[in-house]
Chain A
Amino acid sequence: MSKVEKEMAIDCCLLAGRLMMEAGAETYRVEDTMARMAETQKLSATHSFVTPTGIIFSPGSPHHTKLIRIKNRTTDLEKVALVNAVSRKLSTNEYTLEEAYAELQAIEKANVMFPLWLQIIAAAIASGSFLILYNGLWTDVPAAIFAGGVGFVIATTMHELTRVKFFAEFIASLFIGLIGYAAIQTGLGTELDKIIIGSVMPLVPGLLITNAVRDLMAGHFMSGLSKGAEAFLTAFAIGAGVAFVLSF
């Protein structure tokens, strides 16, 4: 294998790792995928060190160690599945290296997210469902749906505007609290607690919590602790926003 091809294989591994990490995959899965892709490309003695903010990849003797920065992390499970499928096809020789690299670059550019309106509707309906699951009253459902939808819209737009996730979550839960309070005052809702709990559920950092636990158990303490810290701060921001409303 020529030097150019090896360099391409290294770039391919790094790209796959970065895409998975940005989409919210577990750290051990990223390391595993990168190692397996490197193995199929005859790169021996590779080492990778993956954290939520960057990947260090050392492809063995004649090649240089590379570092790639992970700037923003979202939750995009479909991308995780797509990259995983590419790595699978590469290891079963269904794809050549060039095809895999082209496919990964296509995945990087593609926008596979559900449209925003659908996400908002999903968040709103999920909020209403949680109200019922927590034994809320059927008459409170419209208030929870409205508050959940508005909360999700505010969280996404504020995140795009400010790029500070905790601030976005704080403002969103603040507004959820205010809407819940307004619903009680106007007689559209009866149980403030249940409306607020149901509506903040779409903001709960579920992926972070699950990944933090799985990373810690797999021995990736750095990633586990930092994801756990992110989850804790997010939960704290939500709680602070609600508490702000309740304190009046």
Chain B
Amino acid sequence: MTWIVQGIFSFIAATGFGIIFNAPRKMLFYCGFVGMTGWLIYSVFNELYGDPVQASFLGAFMVALVAHLFAKRFRTPMIIFSVAGIIPLVPGGMAYNAMRHIVEEDYLTAISFASGAFMVSGAIAMGLVFAEVIIQLIFRSGIGRKREKTV
């Protein structure tokens, strides 16, 4: 039940971001879908292993992978899909907690939250890059011979 609720709300949130970033109207549904896959992968792994860094990596990897596939399918730039999908993974909570503890002059806790936020951001970046490299390798190896140069 919670997964269904999470899925629905991550879809709504990613679609909302598609509207804020002015994604093409026909692509809004797919923006929401990309956001939903990324978030569901993230929350499943976060629940199972309790490590937000690994979970963010896998979530971002999934977002970029699905975004690339949609980009090939619709022949549009890949960022249209990935931008809205990445937003839910941004470590807003950790950054907020770091800020709050700095204000409360509890610098040690603040540093641990800030390092967590930093690690998660790094994991998101790595996830994006890994997916990109893998897609490039697959399409170069012959399946996508007739591919367009720009994704």
* A24: B residues at CB distance < 8 A: 79
* Cross-chain contact B21 with A126 (CB below 8 angstroms): no
Distance from A245 Cβ to chain B, minimum over Cβ atoms (Å): 9
* Contacting residues, chain B, for A113 (C-beta < 8 A): 22
**Partner-binding segment picked from B49-57, B94-102, B137-145:** B94-102
CA distance A89 to B36 in the complex (A): 32
B19 CB-CB contact with A under 8 Å = yes
What chain A residues lie within 8 Å of B59 (beta carbons)?
A: none
Contact B77 A81 (CB under 8 A): yes
Binding site secondary structure of chain B: helix
- Cβ contacts B13-25/A at 8 Å (1 or 0 each): 1011111111111
CA A236 – CA B104 in complex, angstroms?
Answer: 17
Q: Across the interface, do B125 and A112 meet the contact criterion of CB distance under 8 Å? A: no
The dominant DSSP class at the A interface is helix
A247 CB-CB contact with B under 8 Å: yes
Contact of A213 among B6, B76, B102, B128 (CB under 8 A): B128
Q: Which of B9, B23, B86 contacts A209 (CB 8 A)?
A: B86
Closest to A124 in B: B16
**A84 vs B27: C-alpha distance when bound (angstroms):** 15
Contact between A246 and B100, CB atoms less than 8 A apart: yes
CA distance A36 to B10 in the complex (A): 37
CA distance A36 to B148 in the complex (A): 12
Q: Which of A29, A32, A235 contacts B95 (CB 8 A)?
A: A235
Chain B proximity mask over A67-103: 1 for CB below 8 Å, otherwise 0:
0000000011111110011001000000000000000
A residues near B, CB below 8 A? Answer: 24-26, 29, 32-33, 36, 75-81, 84-85, 88, 112-114, 118-119, 122-123, 125-126, 129-130, 132-134, 152, 193, 196-197, 200-202, 204, 206-207, 209-211, 213-214, 217, 235, 239, 242-243, 246-247
